[in-house]
Amino acid sequence: MHMADALLAPAVAATMYAASAVATGVSIRELRKDETPQKLPTMAVMAALVFAGQMINYAIPGTGSSGHLCGGMMLTAVLGPFAGFLSMIVILAIQALFFADGGLLALGANIWNMSFYGCFAGYFLIYRPILRGGLFSGRGRRAAVRLRIILASVLGCVATLQLGAFSVVLETALSGVTELPFGAFVAVMQPIHLAIGLVEGLVTAAVLVFIYESRPELLMDVDPDAGAAGRRSAASTLVVLAVVVAVVGGGFSLLASGNPDGLEWSMFGNAESGYSANMGLDEARFGVESSAADTVAALQEKVSFLPDYAFANDAENPVGTTVSGLLGSALVAGAALLIAFAGGFFRKKAGAQKS
Amino acid sequence: MMNQASEAWSEFKAMDELAGQASVIHRLHPLVKLLVTIVYIAAAVSFPKYNLSGLLVMVLYPVFVFQASLIPIRTCFRKMRVVLPLVCAVGLFNPFFDRAPLFMLGGLAVSGGVVSMLSLMMKGIFSLMASFLLIATTPIESLCQALRQMHVPKILVTLLLLTYRYISVLLEELSVMLDAYHLRAPGQKGIHVSAWGAFLGQLLLRSMDRASALYESMQLRGWSGAFYYVRGGRLTVTSLLYGVFWIALFLLARLVNLSQLLGTLLV
Amino acid sequence: MLEFEHVFFSYEKEQPILTDVSFKIAPGEQLGLIGANGTGKSTILKILLGLLPCTGGVRVGGLPVEKACLPQIRRKLGYVLQDSDNQMFMPTVYEDMIFAPLNYGLSRTEADARVDETLQQLALTHLKRRHNHKMSGGEKRMAAIATILALRPEALLMDEPSIALDPCNRRRLIHILRALPLTKIIASHDLDLILETCDRVLLLSGGRIAADGPASELLRDRALLEAHRLELPLCLSGCPEGR
């Protein structure tokens, strides 16, 4: 769910940068309290691992499609929220710079949407309460911890991705770049991210359980004696569950209300496929595109691409400015071409010198 | 066929290769390039949605840098496949929702939605090109230096430098693992659900060992938490002029519709 | 210069890695550490560097390996890791090479001079500006050695230095090692390399020292080597191309 530079107004981008900067400042201060130097190599290698791990295709059973990992929750479970947050920032920065995933201006927003929720909201509100809570304690210690890890990972990923997706919509809407009704946008984003969050959660759970089986000391909060806050009751864990359900449920109720006549909904068939590619879902096999293809034909009949008034009155139309605007634009384009040609000349020269 | 990890790895190497060249642009001070890029993107995306002709002036910067740095333009277009779909998806709806005509072209009215869609796409392409050009002409060490000069916290910059270094190591390792997996599991599209945890988990455990070896190696060489960066060249007059020129032009273009002005002078 | 006195070490109580290991190395001595997998070769190196805690007396240059003395001790020892990628964490060779000298308080000009001097000495000047992730395995190993030598250590500790090197690079490594007048400890399964670069050999087996003697004698003792899951070096086992 990488935001692009073009979708953000500078004011929104700056606000998100400021919010992320505060979270970064707090993280750095918290990290300084314990031994940073020792943790730095681990943070770097883990960040690199998650970055590489995003390249893995996970086959989703029974669908023929595959999903990817984003990794915020996994980093947090291994490094803790503060170190995890900083590592995630670095991953997002490298994606934005080297892979054109996101953008320089949108980095602040992306940090907020993908790292803040995953590392802080996910950890403090979901992961830690569940792992330190008393759920499943009737099943023996190892089995209980295993189940708690799975529950915490799935809930954490689903809830934080819902929050992130909602933020994307909010930021885009506040930036005023799209004419799309807010509700329609939400109605598309939230369900897509429910699916993405489930896959993310299950992969995260699988990896964390594997680590718990082989080297439990690497994970946060799996040792009940180590937690300073101590054990919590099953009741408080249930409160967490209620919060998660409320977040996800809220997304769905918005979906329902944001879908008044089904028009926008069907139109989004198109956007979904493009968007899910951006999200790292293999849309071709996710069952999204097929519905999109069906709706496109119907859509073309329903919606005219041309303006409402094909021949508008000249009086309400500042033709004069338009002409000079067009002419000027042509000149600028000409200048750009000239630079391009001049450059081509230099390139040839450089090439000739080399050979 | 290459797996995704080795594809990413070769993309990484290609960027590194570009950044290692020695053109006029490569020699500029990294901080100047970073600032110019940031101002450029902020200026470009802040154009009003109907101001297509004003926005067009911004094309001059990427075209100039592409030519002056001898970076092949097609390498940049390949990168756009990731983020452009989202921008286009969002923009594509504007013509449907905003159908009030904005101006006449020939006998045809052009609606506000069409114009805002085009300007959104242009913004997307421009901002992408600008950050691509920054990275393609600035090695990571120089970029880290610029970030430090912008007072980005030391721990983040150090982390960026170290992560960058280990991404290449881990991508290589992962690519070997993926090949090994698929050689033993022909016809599988992705990692089977039974191996979801173990596949990445194994790599994670090994990476933890690598991290402790790395920490040892840093300790043994007297590391105490500080990092030293190569200090690139000083801020030259050329770099300064370059920065001032472009930033002034961006601001001017943002305030005055230069295309319009140029046209008015001629009509 | 290096001293082990009744050293015991284990990760878990039941499985001792080192049991009562004692030896001394004089300045300038070149020691080969040999033994099958898991006999504690790397452990000995790590204990010397103060990376693992142990019981018994370990001294480097007269100083006990304890927390207070670690900076001084590590200043004297150069450790070349088995995996060069773990050693070279900066973007370029040059930056890796100035890392340690700068940490030990040299000025930038002094450190720069060290780097150039070391690279010239090893005939590796062409690697100075190279990126660590764009070098071949052989280049990486050579650069890693240069990184360590830029520290001007008194003793060189190497873990499997010839692993993954092609014959030509391995030969270069041997030449470099023979030309360096430092105290050296080389842990390796490459017995030919040990034979060519070391004058004394310590054979480890089951966490104890099974034999300690001149390389030329010990590495010719077929019965001893085979009893400890090793073989004669190729050049001594009648290999036609051997020396």
Give the mean model confidence (pLDDT) for residues C84-110: 87
Answer whether B58 touches A (CB < 8 Å): no
B60 and B105 part of one domain: yes
How far apart are alpha carbons C89 and A99 in whole angstroms?
A: 22
Contact (CB, 8 A) for C154 and C76:
yes
Which residues in chain A have Cβ-Cβ distances shorter than 8 Å to B45?
A: 5-6, 8-10, 13, 105
- B81 found inside a domain: yes
User: According to the per-residue pLDDT averaged within each range, which of A255-269, C97-111, C190-204, C225-239 is highest?
Assistant: C190-204
Distance from CA of B17 to the nearest CA of C (A): 10
Closest by CA position to A103, among listed A5, A232, A250, A207: A5
Q: How confident is the model at residue B232 (pLDDT cuts 50, 70, 90)?
A: low
Which residues in chain A have Cβ-Cβ distances shorter than 8 Å to B190?
A: 56-60, 66
B206 and B251 part of one domain: no
Answer whether B53 touches A (CB < 8 Å): yes
B131 and B23 part of one domain: yes
Of the listed ranges B77-86, C50-59, C212-221, the one predicted with least confidence:
B77-86
Of the listed ranges A63-67, A178-182, B85-89, the one predicted with least confidence:
A63-67
Percent of chain B at pLDDT > 70 equals 95
Answer whether B48 touches A (CB < 8 Å): no
Residue A85 exposure: Cα atoms within 13 Å on the Cβ side: 27
Q: Which of residues 46-85 of C touch B (CB under 8 A)?
A: 46, 49, 51, 71, 74-75, 77, 79, 81, 83, 85
If you average pLDDT over every residue of chain A, what do you get?
Answer: 75
B94 and B216 part of one domain: no
In 3-state terms, what secondary structure has residue A228? coil
How far apart are alpha carbons B120 and A207 in whole angstroms?
A: 40
**Residues ≥6 apart with Cβ < 8 Å to B72:** none
- B7 found inside a domain: yes
Contact (CB, 8 A) for B211 and A77:
no
Angle at B142 between CA B139 and CA B148, to 5 degrees: 140
User: According to the per-residue pLDDT averaged within each range, which of A281-295, B224-238, C56-70 is highest?
Assistant: C56-70
How far apart are alpha carbons C238 and C243 in whole angstroms?
A: 9
B59's tokens = 């094309």
Q: Given the structure tokens 């089977």, which residue do they identify?
A: B192
Q: Given the structure tokens 């200090």, which residue do they identify?
A: B231
Of the listed ranges A90-94, B188-192, C137-141, the one predicted with least confidence:
B188-192
Q: How confident is the model at residue C212 (pLDDT cuts 50, 70, 90)?
A: very high
Over 50: is that where the pLDDT of A319 sits? no
Give the mean model confidence (pLDDT) for residues C221-226: 91
- The DSSP 8-state label assigned to residue C131 in this structure reads B
Cβ distance of B169 and C104 shorter than 8 Å: no
B125 and B222 part of one domain: no
Question: Could you give phi then psi for residue B152, rounded to 5 degrees?
Answer: -70, 135
Which residues in chain C have Cβ-Cβ distances shorter than 8 Å to B209?
A: none
- B194 found inside a domain: yes
Of the listed ranges A153-162, A335-344, C41-50, the one predicted with least confidence:
A335-344
- Which chains lie within 8 Å of chain C at 3 or more CB pairs, if any? B
B170 and B251 part of one domain: no
B97 and B208 part of one domain: no
* B229/B146: higher pLDDT: B146
Of the listed ranges A25-29, A67-71, B14-18, C178-182, the one predicted with least confidence:
A67-71
Domain range for B157: 140-145+152-229
- Structural domain total, chain B: 2
Give the mean model confidence (pLDDT) for residues A182-193: 84
- B267 found inside a domain: no
Contact (CB, 8 A) for A74 and A207:
yes
If you average pLDDT over every residue of chain C, what do you get?
Answer: 89
Give the mean model confidence (pLDDT) for residues A74-94: 93
- B77 found inside a domain: yes
Report the predicted TM-score, pTM, of the whole model to 2 decimal places: 0.81
Question: Could you give phi then psi for residue C12, rounded to 5 degrees?
Answer: -125, 150
Q: Is the dihedral of CA A259, A263, A266, A270 positive or negative?
A: negative
Answer whether B243 touches A (CB < 8 Å): no
Q: Which of residues 174-233 of B touch A (CB under 8 A)?
A: 174, 178, 188-193, 196-205, 207-208, 210-212, 214-215, 218, 223-225
B133 and B178 part of one domain: no
Closest residue, chain B, to C81 (C-alpha): B217
Cβ distance of B230 and C151 shorter than 8 Å: no
How far apart are alpha carbons A117 and A113 in whole angstroms?
A: 6
Please report the pLDDT score of residue A351 as a whole number: 61
Q: How confident is the model at residue B217 (pLDDT cuts 50, 70, 90)?
A: confident
Answer whether B168 touches C (CB < 8 Å): yes
Q: Residue A12: is it exposed, middle or buried by C-beta count within 10 angstroms (0-12/13-18/19+)? A: buried
C-alpha distances out from residue A108 to A8, A19, A20, A186, Å: 11, 8, 6, 21
How far apart are alpha carbons B172 and B203 in whole angstroms?
A: 12
Question: C185-215 as b/e, with b when 16 or more CB fall inside 10 Å?
Answer: bbbbbbbbbbbbbbebbbbbbebebbbeeeb
Q: Residue A227: is it exposed, middle or buried by C-beta count within 10 angstroms (0-12/13-18/19+)? A: middle
Contact (CB, 8 A) for A151 and A255:
no
Closest by CA position to A319, among listed B126, C6, C205, B109: B109
How far apart are alpha carbons B207 and A17 in whole angstroms?
A: 31
Test mutation, B210, B221, B227, B229, chain C, max C CBs within 10 A: B221
Residue of C83, C91, C131 with shortest CB distance to B213: C83
Helices A10-33 and B30-45, axial angle in degrees (round to 10): 130
Test mutation, B159, B178, B212, B254, chain A, max A CBs within 10 A: B159
Closest by CA position to C189, among listed C32, C16, C18: C32
Q: What is the pLDDT of residues C25-53, one digit of tens each?
A: 999 999 999 999 888 898 999 899 888 88
Angle at C30 between CA C24 and CA C34, to 5 degrees: 80
Residue of A8, A176, A310 with shortest CB distance to B109: A310
B60 and B117 part of one domain: yes
What is the arrangement of strands in the sheet containing C208-214, beginning at the earlier edge strand?
A: C77-80, C155-159, C183-187, C30-34, C200-205, C208-214
Cβ distance of A4 and B192 shorter than 8 Å: no
Give the mean model confidence (pLDDT) for residues C109-120: 92
- B55 found inside a domain: yes
Please report the pLDDT score of residue A17 as a whole number: 94
**From 3.40.50.620, 1.20.58.100, 1.10.1760.20, 3.20.20.140, which CATH number describes the A5-354 domain?**
1.10.1760.20
Provide the H-helix boundaries in chain C.
41-48, 70-76, 84-87, 93-103, 108-121, 137-149, 167-179, 191-197, 215-218, 222-227
Give the mean model confidence (pLDDT) for residues C118-141: 88
Test mutation, B11, B13, B159, B217, chain C, max C CBs within 10 A: B217
How far apart are alpha carbons A181 and A171 in whole angstroms?
A: 13
Over 50: is that where the pLDDT of A230 sits? no
Closest by CA position to B62, among listed B50, B49, B89, B80: B80
Over 90: is that where the pLDDT of B94 sits? no
Beta bridge partners of residue C204, listed in sequence order: C209
In 3-state terms, what secondary structure has residue A171? helix
B20 and B97 part of one domain: yes
**ipTM (interface pTM):** 0.91
B173 and B81 part of one domain: no
Which residues in chain B have Cβ-Cβ distances shorter than 8 Å to A206?
A: 193, 196-197, 201
Closest by CA position to B127, among listed A234, A7, C5: A7
Distance from CA of B2 to the nearest CA of C (A): 19
Please report the pLDDT score of residue A315 as a whole number: 38
Over 50: is that where the pLDDT of C189 sits? yes
Which residues in chain C have Cβ-Cβ distances shorter than 8 Å to B216?
A: 46, 49, 51
Over 70: is that where the pLDDT of A296 sits? no
Q: How confident is the model at residue A232 (pLDDT cuts 50, 70, 90)?
A: low
How far apart are alpha carbons A95 and A325 in whole angstroms?
A: 37
B128 and B246 part of one domain: yes
